[in-house]
Amino acid sequence: MTGSLFLGNKTFAEWRAAAQTTHRARFARLIDQADSYLTYLPPVEHPRETITYIGMASANLAFAFRLSDDARYLDRAREWIKIAIGYPHWGKANLPDHDLDAGWLSFGLGLAHAWIGDALPGAERDALRAKLLLQGTRLYEFAISKENWWGPAYWQNHNWICFAGLATVAYALERDHPETKAWSQNATENFRKVFELLPEDGSDYEGVVYWCYGFPWLLIAADLIQQQTGIDLHSSEFLRNTFYYRLYASAPNLVDTANFGDCHDRRSAHAAMIYYRLASVYRNGHAQWLAEHFEQIGEWERERKQGLLRPSSAAHAFLEFLWYDPTVAPTPLADLPTARVFPDLGLVSARSNWSPNATYIAFKCAKPNGEKAWALGHALERERGQKIIKTGHAHPDENSFILARGSDYLAVDEGYSQKKQSRHHNTILMDGKGQYHEGVYNVADGLGEEWGGKLEAHFVGQRVVYARGEAARAYDPALTLEHFTRQMLFVGSKYVVICDDLASREPREFTWLLQTDSQLGIANCELQITEGETRNSQPWHRPPGQVFAIRNFETLFGSTRLRVSVCEPHQVAVKNVEQEIVAYPSSSTPEWVLRHTQHTLMLTPERTRATRFVVALNIEHPTAAPTRVEPVVCETGSALALADAETRIIVAFARDARGIKIAGPIETDARWLVANFRGDALQHFAAGDATRVVIGGQVRFESQKPVFCER
């Protein structure tokens, strides 16, 4: 009798019926994928490159045979399996038999053994079983050995892939080899621990591309373990929420990404089988809608052909079939909030709306691998006396951000790099130095629990989104940085205003960084407002005896004009630097090199112990009348005005406990304030950490304790 492993408690006969009805499109996809394997075979001798694809090919061919009864797929599966079991070891470049290749092949060939073992000639079936037993033994013995680095790496894809593969081969062999029960029990205990330790907000510090690569194995493990043992790991809040982490890390066109972490590109980070599974388990109509949307616009086909993940998402065909649930009604995204916060990763994501032409920003400030993993990882290291924390895909990027409008990337992130450096991110350098142990691949290796940034506060309003990060502890203590507080305000769809306060015990050279795909040019370099000017009717724009300079930089990105207005400091040295980013994603394929160029705007005032940067980013269509960014005179705090033909928005930040005071119109103890005027009439405002807001001589808000407010 054919094994039912991983079939969702259905028989092949039931799945064959579904292939002709509810799963017709998924069946066609499976057959197309199976047909692709008829045209080639893997090399007879183990190549230097990864062989992970062989496991998926074997499973796809086996499943296609069982649903179609087409002998071509069985015959080709036998050939693929013969080659795989002929390799003395699984994996060549990195930990043969003990890492990713072994995990992927154990999964795929374990399923093939269960699904078509009874259709193989006896000698071939015995040879496959013997090879699986050998490889499973090797993988298990390494899993429980002291030399195993990924065993306690609960937040790493290597752990998830290898233990899921081990569980699969254990269940496939358990009837004939009861000793493999220890393998599956070991894997189950591992995944119990993994789900206990993963962040409840669903975020993944490795980034969206590695989420797409590694996260499916958590779904595989949870599904497999529940089917075989009845143990339900799906109550995990991480699993329940992780779709929204991925969604809110999507740029306005939903295809592109906020590529924090190690990301091969800005696009290879979606998988249909993930969305189908999350839709099915959690009745998540948004996940179902996104999967169907990508089908309609051709994104799945593009990703299968052009995506940089290996194996390609084309290999997911049998999982797409098994995990598709036609009873989940798709729910469009328009009913979702336009902003969401992921506290563990310190990620704040906001967009002006859900249209493909929206403006989008993502801000990040946290510990290297997230708040929960950093704290619990250090606790486990103290308890066990062994290395637990692995942060190979983390970057020195605290208090950094990504900005896009439509398909245009405006402020970019480096993505994948071999030597990770803060100078590749939208953050701050001190004396030319960045965060953590930058300049190496694993920038957080060996750092104490006290290191890292923190998302201190956030506010999601109707018209304003605010985030505040503190990143002083992400820098070498020898730099004596006392604070690096970044406040970011996303106002409407056109403006981002950044206020950075830095202080060190010793004079330092602070350098403010903005990364772009093309160089920003100087535009209207010095806009001066002096005594007697009549640019505006409001008196606070006519500072007696003072001169203010705003440096403007501008360029076009596709259909978007970005203008960068530097309001503080008044005197800065400016550099435009071209930087090449290089990465080698696979140790088994050293000739596979990812390269791209970033242009970095660097703003550096004179050496000082403390400084403040206030920078406004205007995001507009090239044909729109440009917004004016103008200084506002403050008795306390600092402020600027964003003015177009109809409205004037004042954005202000306190410097200390005295709050913000602008002669005449505004007085508040708030940390920050945004006030929108039409002429002299206040339209609406928002403020943070405020107990009292007075605008235009009227008390607009009062509270007994500091709170965020919007009116």
Least confident of 63-72, 187-196, 695-704: 695-704
The confidence score (pLDDT) of residue 534 equals: 35
- Clarify whether residues 360 and 474 are in a common domain: yes
| CATH number of 550's domain | 2.70.98.70
C-alpha to C-alpha distance for 490 and 409, rounded to whole angstroms = 16
**Rg, Å, the chain Cα set:** 28
**Could you give the angle at which helices 285-297 and 272-282 cross, rounded to 10 degrees?**
150
The confidence score (pLDDT) of residue 558 equals: 85
- Clarify whether residues 567 and 649 are in a common domain: no
pLDDT band at 678 (very low <50, low <70, confident <90, very high): very high
Contact (Cβ atoms closer than 8 angstroms) between residue 572 and residue 603: yes
C-alpha to C-alpha distance for 131 and 140, rounded to whole angstroms = 14
Strand-pair category, 560-568 with 681-695: unpaired
540 pLDDT above the threshold of 90: no
Domain boundary among 611, 633, 655: 633
Within 8 A by CB and 6+ apart from 238, the residues are: 195, 198, 199, 200, 201, 202
The confidence score (pLDDT) of residue 644 equals: 87
Closest alpha carbon to 583 in 596, 571, 574, 572: 596
Query: pLDDT tens digit string along 79-101?
Result: 999 999 999 999 998 899 999 99
Closest alpha carbon to 515 in 403, 365, 359: 403
For the whole model, what pTM was predicted? 0.94
DSSP per-residue codes, 11-60: -HHHHHHHHTTTTHHHHHHHHHHHHHGGG----SSPPSS--HHHHHHHHH
pLDDT band at 3 (very low <50, low <70, confident <90, very high): low
Least confident of 238-242, 264-268, 271-275, 542-546: 542-546
Instruction: Give the C-alpha distances (Å, rounded to integers) separating 428 from 442, 597, 601.
Output: 20, 19, 11
Contact (Cβ atoms closer than 8 angstroms) between residue 616 and residue 640: yes
3-state secondary structure 222-244: HHHHHHHHCCCCCCCHHHHHHHH
| CATH number of 237's domain | 1.50.10.100
pLDDT band at 529 (very low <50, low <70, confident <90, very high): very low
Residue 313 inside a domain? The answer is no
The confidence score (pLDDT) of residue 406 equals: 94
Contact (Cβ atoms closer than 8 angstroms) between residue 147 and residue 139: no
- Clarify whether residues 61 and 162 are in a common domain: yes
- Clarify whether residues 192 and 178 are in a common domain: yes
C-alpha to C-alpha distance for 428 and 439, rounded to whole angstroms = 15
Domain boundary among 633, 648, 675: 633
The confidence score (pLDDT) of residue 524 equals: 54
Query: pLDDT tens digit string along 145-203?
Result: 999 999 999 999 999 999 999 999 999 999 999 999 999 999 999 999 999 999 999 99
Residue 312 inside a domain? The answer is no
- Across 676-705, average pLDDT: 94
Helices (H) and strands (E) in the chain, counts: 16, 26
Percent of the residues in the chain that have a pLDDT greater than 70, as a whole number? 96
Instruction: Give the C-alpha distances (Å, rounded to integers) separating 297 from 254, 286, 314.
Output: 11, 16, 17
Q: For the chain, what's the residue count?
A: 711
Tokens representing residue 103 in the block:
């995990």
Within 8 A by CB and 6+ apart from 21, the residues are: none
527 pLDDT above the threshold of 80: no
pLDDT band at 586 (very low <50, low <70, confident <90, very high): confident
463 phi and psi angles, rounded to 5 deg: -120, -10
- Which helix (H) or strand (E) element contains residue 301? helix 299-306
- Clarify whether residues 412 and 500 are in a common domain: yes
Find tokens 């928002």 and name the residue.
Answer: 686
Residue 327 inside a domain? The answer is no
C-alpha to C-alpha distance for 560 and 488, rounded to whole angstroms = 21
Instruction: Give the C-alpha distances (Å, rounded to integers) separating 620 from 137, 603, 647.
Output: 60, 23, 15
Residue 122 inside a domain? The answer is yes
Find tokens 């233990």 and name the residue.
Answer: 163
DSSP per-residue codes, 192-224: HHHHHHS-TT---TT-HHHHHHHTHHHHHHHHH
- Across 62-88, average pLDDT: 98
- Clarify whether residues 493 and 516 are in a common domain: yes
Domain boundary among 224, 242, 260: 242
Query: pLDDT tens digit string along 609-657?
Result: 999 999 999 998 888 888 899 989 999 999 999 998 889 999 999 999 9
Find tokens 């990060």 and name the residue.
Answer: 469
Find tokens 């235009």 and name the residue.
Answer: 696
347-351 sheet: strands from edge to edge: 339-342, 347-351, 359-364, 400-405, 408-411
- Clarify whether residues 102 and 70 are in a common domain: yes
- Clarify whether residues 478 and 510 are in a common domain: yes
- Clarify whether residues 576 and 640 are in a common domain: no
Residue 646 inside a domain? The answer is yes
Tokens representing residue 284 in the block:
């998540």
Classify 689 in phi/psi space as left (phi over 0), alpha (psi -120 to 50) or beta: left
Tell the burial category of 280 from Cβ atoms under 10 Å away from its Cβ (0-12, 13-18, 19+): buried
Contact (Cβ atoms closer than 8 angstroms) between residue 670 and residue 690: yes
Query: pLDDT tens digit string along 363-387?
Result: 999 999 999 999 999 999 999 999 9
Residue 431 inside a domain? The answer is yes
C-alpha to C-alpha distance for 587 and 576, rounded to whole angstroms = 33
The confidence score (pLDDT) of residue 2 equals: 43
The domain total for the chain is: 3
Query: pLDDT tens digit string along 107-159?
Result: 999 999 999 999 999 999 999 999 999 999 999 999 999 999 999 999 999 99
C-alpha to C-alpha distance for 394 and 443, rounded to whole angstroms = 7
C-alpha to C-alpha distance for 482 and 431, rounded to whole angstroms = 15
- Clarify whether residues 573 and 667 are in a common domain: no
Q: Which domain holds residue 683?
A: 634-711
- Which helix (H) or strand (E) element contains residue 464? strand 464-470
- Across 560-564, average pLDDT: 92
- Across 419-441, average pLDDT: 96
Query: pLDDT tens digit string along 293-324?
Result: 999 999 999 999 999 999 999 999 999 999 99
- Clarify whether residues 638 and 623 are in a common domain: no
C-alpha to C-alpha distance for 601 and 49, rounded to whole angstroms = 39
Top pLDDT among 627 and 226 is at 226
Least confident of 2-6, 22-26, 318-322, 419-423: 2-6
The confidence score (pLDDT) of residue 551 equals: 75
Mean of per-residue pLDDT scores for the chain: 93
DSSP per-residue codes, 132-197: HHHHHHHHHHHHTSTT-SSTT-TTSHHHHHHHHHHHHHHHHHTTT-GGGHHHHHHHHHHHHHHHHH
Residue type at 73?
Y
The confidence score (pLDDT) of residue 626 equals: 82
Residue 321 inside a domain? The answer is no
The confidence score (pLDDT) of residue 546 equals: 38
687 pLDDT above the threshold of 60: yes
- Clarify whether residues 369 and 236 are in a common domain: no
- Across 393-397, average pLDDT: 95
C-alpha to C-alpha distance for 162 and 298, rounded to whole angstroms = 32
Residue 267 inside a domain? The answer is no
pLDDT band at 1 (very low <50, low <70, confident <90, very high): very low
